[in-house]
């Protein structure tokens, strides 16, 4: 059996995904190995790694028992990126970054690019510059004993922002390039699996609120998927298109089978999400070899959950990893020298070491003898009767005898001596008045301090109650560019869910201060 898993990990350097908290260590490098082991797959495809080559560390990229392949974003740091980890028992015979072939090195590449004349060179470079596609090609053996080629396309398709129409165009061109490459591989005789985050919910059953979305079926991404995928079901007569959604082949009517939820609104608690992650196989491969297609919603740590499939084939590992493997990168392969390399103490020959030690001891003895001769030859100053001795610091502050003596200062009588003495009664009254004044000052100072610390430690004002549940609200901040950017507002603290569910968030909204 060959088991493969795909997961939008939402940052490979984050404290790696809910599983990390089961261990005392929060090190991402150590967590990566634990995650691969717990996913228990022969091939693991990750999307949205958010890592570039300059910050990729060796413990994170090279995991014992696996060989890994990365595609990085070339325009932005901490953005996009995909990675594929293959067990050594499923080592690919070829690997390639990108869909266009412009990033190919012509050594260990997958090949089969199809007709891309409809794209300009600049457009192809732009589509492959965000690190969204990674291909690995494997040799497999079917249960009948036949050897075949299987190509996996690990993709993280672009998201279409409603406020940026150019990104919708970019997304659709990426879809088109992906389809051309996949169909070219099929035409060359290879089986093909497209797996990853396609960023489109295909059918109304794949979205929590498809009924309320305008023109749901008219979305360009959904129309593209209609042209790529065959009808649901595994009957041979119904297949007219090259690929099958493997999960819907096994679970055609499963509702709530979502793979992505909003982390900000807590929508995962009420399963208020959409299905954006897929394992698409060519129809012959799905019908003949797919045993299962599944989701893993219990795996936490990202706003997506893993998806995967099990095939009734065995992998035939290549004898050597393709050149794209991370262990061949200069910074990890030992070919790039580091400063520490020049600071390592080298082993010396015992005879040379003994002679060097004797020479060092002789040199030290000779240096001590030379210092002793210098001290004995140095003249010693005579302290008795020396007129050039070092003067005391106080010598410079003694008064000179040539200066005229200043006349002594006349002491004037104090003001109190000129005043008439007070009687015992007046002194007692004065002491009482002074005591009352000091007590009132101390009391005022204490009240000031008390009021100050009450204002500091009193905490924020209580949260308003939402209208639907009469529960304390939560404060949010407007992050969308516009006149209200940075303003605070209150909303219901419950997780987002279907409007018909009374346990989900109500529509309460209140600005924290008047505009």
DSSP secondary structure, 92-147, as one string: -SEEEESSSSTT--SSS--------TTS-HHHHHHHHTT--EEEEEEEEEETTS-E
Of 219, 191, 193, nearest in space to 206 by CA: 219
Rounded Cα–Cα distance for residues 292 and 230 (Å): 18
On the question of pLDDT at 501 being above 50, the answer is: yes
pLDDT class of 21 with cuts at 50, 70, 90: very low
Q: Which of 281, 312, 337 is the last residue of a domain?
A: 337
As a whole-number percent, the residues of the chain with pLDDT over 90 amount to 48
Annotated binding site for Mg(2+): 8, 48, 197, 199, 303-304
Averaged pLDDT for residues 99-115: 91
Mean pLDDT of the 309-313 span: 97
Q: How many domains does the chain have?
A: 2
Domain contains 467: yes
Q: Which helix (H) or strand (E) holds 511?
A: strand 509-511
Give mean pLDDT, residues 448-463.
76
**Angstrom distance (rounded) from CA 186 to CA 135:** 14
CA dihedral 308, 309, 313, 319 (to 10 degrees): -10
Q: What percentage of the chain has pLDDT greater than the value 70? A: 76
CB < 8 Å & 24+ apart, contacts of 261-265: 261/303, 262/303, 262/496, 263/303, 265/495, 265/496, 265/505
Which range is least confidently modeled, 79-88, 323-332, 427-436, 491-500?
A: 427-436
Q: What is the dihedral of CA 268, 269, 271, 277, to 10 degrees?
A: 20
Q: What mean pLDDT is reported for the chain?
A: 83
Q: Poorest-confidence range of 148-152, 311-315, 379-383?
A: 379-383
Q: What integer is the mean pLDDT of 23-46?
A: 78
Please give, one letter per residue, the 3-state secondary structure of 349-378.
CHHHHHHHHHHHHHHHHHHHHHHHHHHHHC
Beta-carbon neighbour count of residue 170 at 10 Å?
18
pLDDT at 68 over 80: yes
What token pair was written down for 47? 């999307």
Answer with the residue of higher pLDDT: 91 or 23.
91
What does the block give as tokens for 150?
A: 């299987």
For residue 502, the model assigns a pLDDT of 83
Q: Which residues contact 380 (CB under 8 A, 6 or more apart)?
A: none
What CA–CA distance (Å, rounded) separates 377 from 454?
A: 78
pLDDT tens digits, one per residue of 338-347: 565 566 565 5
For every residue of 386-451, which 3-state class applies, written as one string? Answer: CCCCCCCHHHHHCCCCCCCCCCCCCCCCCHHHHCCCCCHHHHHHHHHHHHHHHHHHHHHHHHHHHH
On the question of pLDDT at 397 being above 90, the answer is no
Residue 442 placed within a domain: no
Task: Flag whether 501 is in a domain.
Answer: yes
Neighbours of 24 (CB within 10 A): 6
106 located within any domain: yes
Q: What is the rounded average pLDDT of the residues 83-96?
A: 97
- For residue 363, what pLDDT is reported? 63
Tell me, what's the pLDDT at 106? Answer: 76
Same domain, 332 and 467: no
Question: Which of 275-279, 302-306, 419-423 is the least confident region?
Answer: 419-423
Boundary of a domain, candidates 303, 319, 337: 337
Same structural domain for residues 174 and 314?
yes
Q: What is the pTM of this model?
A: 0.71
Question: CATH number of the domain that 165 lies in?
Answer: 3.60.10.10
pLDDT of 114 higher than 60: yes
Give the sign of the dihedral formed by CA 61, CA 67, CA 73, CA 79.
Answer: negative
pLDDT at 112 over 90: yes
Residue 350 has pLDDT above 70, yes or no: no
In which domain, by residue range, is 147 found?
Answer: 2-337
Q: What is the pLDDT of residue 323?
A: 94
Above 50 in pLDDT, residue 32? yes
Place 20 in a pLDDT band, splitting at 50, 70 and 90: very low
Beta-sheet pairing, 488-491 with 474-477: antiparallel
260 within some domain: yes
| Among 164-173, 199-208, 265-274, the least confident range | 265-274
Is 192:282 a contact under the CB 8 Å cutoff? yes
Q: Which of 366, 267, 309 is nearest to 39 (CA)?
A: 309
Shared domain for 131 and 266, answered yes or no, is: yes
293: tokens are: 């297609």
Strand ordering across the sheet containing 43-47: 66-71, 82-87, 43-47, 2-8, 307-311, 290-295
Q: Judge whether 379 lies within some domain.
A: no
The residue from 314, 337, 360 where one domain ends is 337
Which ranges of 269-349 does DSSP label H, i.e. alpha helix? 283-289, 330-333
C-alpha separations of 483 from 20, 475, 479, 480 in Å: 41, 19, 11, 9
Contact yes or no for 465/473 (Cβ under 8 A): yes
Residues 196 and 49 in one domain: yes
pLDDT at residue 15 above 60? Answer: no
Residue 142 lies in a domain: yes
| pLDDT higher than threshold 60 for residue 348 | no
The pLDDT, as a whole number, for residue 13 is 74
As annotated, the binding site includes: 8, 48, 197, 199, 303-304
Local structure of 184: helix, strand or coil: helix
pLDDT for 235: 52
Q: Residue 314 and residue 331: Cα distance in Å, rounded?
A: 33
The span from the CA of 206 to the CA of 261, in Å, is: 12
364 — pLDDT class (breaks 50, 70, 90): low
The reply to whether 384 falls in a domain is no
* Per-residue pLDDT tens over the stretch 312-322: 999 999 999 99
- Catalytic residue set: 156, 197, 304
């Amino acid at each position: 059996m060959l088991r493969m898993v795909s997961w939008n990990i939402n940052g490979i350097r984050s404290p790696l995904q809910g599983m990390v908290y089961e261990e005392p260590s929060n090190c991402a490098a150590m967590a990566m190995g634990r995650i691969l082991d717990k996913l228990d797959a022969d091939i693991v495809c990750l999307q949205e790694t958010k890592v570039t080559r300059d910050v990729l560390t060796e413990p994170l990229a090279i995991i014992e028992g696996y060989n890994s392949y990365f595609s990085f974003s070339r325009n932005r740091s901490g953005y996009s990126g995909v990675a594929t980890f293959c067990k050594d028992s499923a080592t690919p015979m070829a690997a390639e970054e990108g869909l266009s072939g412009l990033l190919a090195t012509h050594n260990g590449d997958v090949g089969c690019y199809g007709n891309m004349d409809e794209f300009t060179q600049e457009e192809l470079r732009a589509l492959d510059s965000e690190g969204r596609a990674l291909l690995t090609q494997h040799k497999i053996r079917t249960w009948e004993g036949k050897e075949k080629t299987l190509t996996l396309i690990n993709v993280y398709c672009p998201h279409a922002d409603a406020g940026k129409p150019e990104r919708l165009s970019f997304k659709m061109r990426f879809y088109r390039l992906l389809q051309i490459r996949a169909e070219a591989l099929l035409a060359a005789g290879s089986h093909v699996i497209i797996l990853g985050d396609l960023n489109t919910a295909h059918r109304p059953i794949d979205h929590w609120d498809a009924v309320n979305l305008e023109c749901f079926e008219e979305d360009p991404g959904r129309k593209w998927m209609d042209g790529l995928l065959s009808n649901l079901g595994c009957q041979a007569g119904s297949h007219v298109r090259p690929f099958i959604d493997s999960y819907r082949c096994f679970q055609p009517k499963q509702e709530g089978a979502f793979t992505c939820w909003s982390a900000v609104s807590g929508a995962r608690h009420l399963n208020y999400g959409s299905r954006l992650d897929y394992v698409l196989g060519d129809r012959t491969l799905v019908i003949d070899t797919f045993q299962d297609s599944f989701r893993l919603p219990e795996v936490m740590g990202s706003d997506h959950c893993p998806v995967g499939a099990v095939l009734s084939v065995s992998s035939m590992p290549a004898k050597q990893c393709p050149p794209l493997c991370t262990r061949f990168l200069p910074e990890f392969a030992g070919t790039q020298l580091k400063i520490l390399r020049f600071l390592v103490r080298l082993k010396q020959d015992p005879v040379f070491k003994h002679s060097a030690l004797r020479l060092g001891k002789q040199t030290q003895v000779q240096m001590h003898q030379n210092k002793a001769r210098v001290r004995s030859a140095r003249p010693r100053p005579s302290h008795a009767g020396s007129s050039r001795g070092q003067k005391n610091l106080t010598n410079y502050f003694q008064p000179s005898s040539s200066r005229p003596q200043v006349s002594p200062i006349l002491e004037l009588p104090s003001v109190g001596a000129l005043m008439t003495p007070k009687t015992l009664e007046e002194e007692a009254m004065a002491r009482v008045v002074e005591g009352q004044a000091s007590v009132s000052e101390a009391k005022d100072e204490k009240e000031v301090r008390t009021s100050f610390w009450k204002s500091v430690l009193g905490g924020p004002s209580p949260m308003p109650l939402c209208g639907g549940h009469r529960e304390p609200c939560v404060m949010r901040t407007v992050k969308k560019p516009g006149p209200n950017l940075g303003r605070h507002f209150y909303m219901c603290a419950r997780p987002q869910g279907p409007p018909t569910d009374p346990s989900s968030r109500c529509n309460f909204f209140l600005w924290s201060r008047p505009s």
